[in-house]
């Protein structure tokens, strides 16, 4: 499985509420990223790294996105 699949797998498992599986994918992604990443390239990159520095923060971001998607779906159906 390619490196780029790990964060998506983690997101899917957070949405499906299988946190333990999600955390495994997240940890694999973080480790591969740590090994492959060189010096920080931009402040945006630094901000993303900070936001996803812990699994709990990552979960909070995914949950927020999930709620926004659900809310947008409800609004679309209401129109």
More confident residue, 76 or 64: 64
The string of pLDDT tens digits covering residues 50-60 is 666 788 988 99
DSSP result, 3-61: TTHHHHHHHHHHHTT-HHHHHHHHHHHHHHHHHH--S---HHHHHHHHHTSSHHHHHHH
| pLDDT over 90 at 32, yes or no | no
Percent of the chain with pLDDT over 70: 76
| pLDDT over 90 at 20, yes or no | yes
The domain tally of the chain equals 1
Domain hosting 15: range is: 5-78
- Is residue 63 within a helix (H) or strand (E), and if so which, with residue range? helix 55-78
pLDDT at 37: 72
Rounded to two decimals, the pTM is 0.62
């Amino acid at each position: 499985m390619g490196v780029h699949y790990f964060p998506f797998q983690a997101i899917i498992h957070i949405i499906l509420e299988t946190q333990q599986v999600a955390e495994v994918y997240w940890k694999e992604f973080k480790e591969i990223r740590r090994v492959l990443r060189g010096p920080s390239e931009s402040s945006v990159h630094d901000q993303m790294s900070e936001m996803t520095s812990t699994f709990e923060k990552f979960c909070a971001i995914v949950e927020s996105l999930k709620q926004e998607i659900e809310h947008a779906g409800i609004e679309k159906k209401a129109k």
